[in-house]
Amino acid sequence: MKSKIIKQDIESIISDSEDYLYSLAGKKILITGGNGFIPSYIVDTITTFNKKLKDPCKLIILNKNPITKKSRLSHLLEDPNVRLIEQDVSKKFEVKGNPEIIIHAASRANPASFLESPLDTIDANVNGVRTLLDYAKENPVENFLFFSSSEVYGNPQKEFLPTPENFFGNVNCLDNMSCYSESKRFAETLCSTFSRNYGVPTKILRIFHTYGPGLRADGNTMAYFFIEGLQNKEIILKDSGKSKRSYSYISDTIKGIFKILFKGDIGEAYNVGSDLNNVSVKELAYLIKDILQNKSIVKNSEIEQNKNLGKIKDRMPDISKIRKLGYEPKIPLDEGLRRMKMHYDEGGIA
């Protein structure tokens, strides 16, 4: 279901990307994990823009869990230009009609689930991308976008903050959380290998912390702060809250993704994020408390809830590379947080 705020965001994305979106007329796009937070915005942007096309773009959405009337994309259940397929992307599949574009966004995105199901996390990232790359090798496409993550950088030294794409990472492969970061790193290697050896036109998105309406509370720190604050509960930090993050509002992230889709170079990796704000987790909690204008109390946990989840690294992207494609983040953190509040106020769900 699309809220008023989400519709406004979609309009902003279309305004920025309209000239390029016309090139999707008559094409087929295969999107994995389409019901997820970020890819659902891509789906909504294209299906909304389809109203302007004489020959609409056809979307084939592979989602591990079925799309129901309660799902984020429930409003597309009857859309004739959308085919929804229940499919584990790590397993071999077949679709009718070869897509011109593949966007691989399916992946576990909840840190708690990494620890709960580390092998599933690895399978989704490694086997999933290998299955799709093999498919693209046998069924040539124009574009292959892979959703990677800023986690591939691990814990950058201070001299690499902001972090450029040519920083090769500082990752402890024996850490519990490395099931996610290392599998994303290997998935990038698969993409570059298939690009060099087989001509698959891969482009890698290293997505930094993205937030906005529809951000789910299951393991996401910002969404957790919002949900607790809306209920006037204590906002409890899992650690000191000193680690810093740069947060990108969802419409900025999607605009960046479209810039790479239509203008990015094959075989390249791009940071996708915002450098407008860099705040500590504790500062974020107080920002949300102030925006919600309630009596929530922010305090440190007496017992660290999870030592692995507490090892949050500083994150700030160097976005000079994607800026060369014409990208520029627009939404400052305080405005984005207010937009999230308006989404919740009108009954939107996380």
* Domain positions in the chain: 4-211+250-274+316-329
Prediction pTM value:
0.95
Q: What is the pLDDT of residues 66-85, one digit of tens each?
A: 888 888 999 999 999 999 99
Q: Would you say residue 309 has pLDDT above 50?
A: no
Q: Which of 193, 188, 175 is nearest to 125 (CA)?
A: 188
First-to-last CA distance in the chain? 11
Confidence grade of residue 315 (pLDDT, cut at 50, 70, 90): very high
The angle at the Cα of 273, spanning 271 to 278, to the nearest 5 degrees, equals 120
SS3 content of the chain, % helix, strand, coil (to 5): 40, 15, 40
Q: What is the dihedral of CA 152, 156, 159, 164, to 10 degrees?
A: 10
Q: SS3 for 169? A: coil
Tell me the average pLDDT across 181-185: 97
Q: What is the pLDDT of residues 112-122, one digit of tens each?
A: 778 888 998 99
Neighbours of 19 (CB within 10 A): 8
Tell me the average pLDDT across 169-180: 92
Top-level class of domain 4-211+250-274+316-329: alpha beta
Mean pLDDT, the chain, integer: 92
Q: Would you say residue 268 has pLDDT above 60?
A: yes
User: In this predicted structure, what is the pLDDT of residue 124?
Assistant: 86
Whether the link from the prior residue into 162 is cis, omega within 30° of 0, is yes
Q: Tell me 67's DSSP state.
A: P
Lowest mean pLDDT among 305-309, 331-335, 345-349: 305-309
Lowest mean pLDDT among 42-46, 64-68, 82-86: 64-68
Cβ contact 206:150 at 8 Å: yes
Confidence grade of residue 301 (pLDDT, cut at 50, 70, 90): low
Cβ contact 314:156 at 8 Å: yes
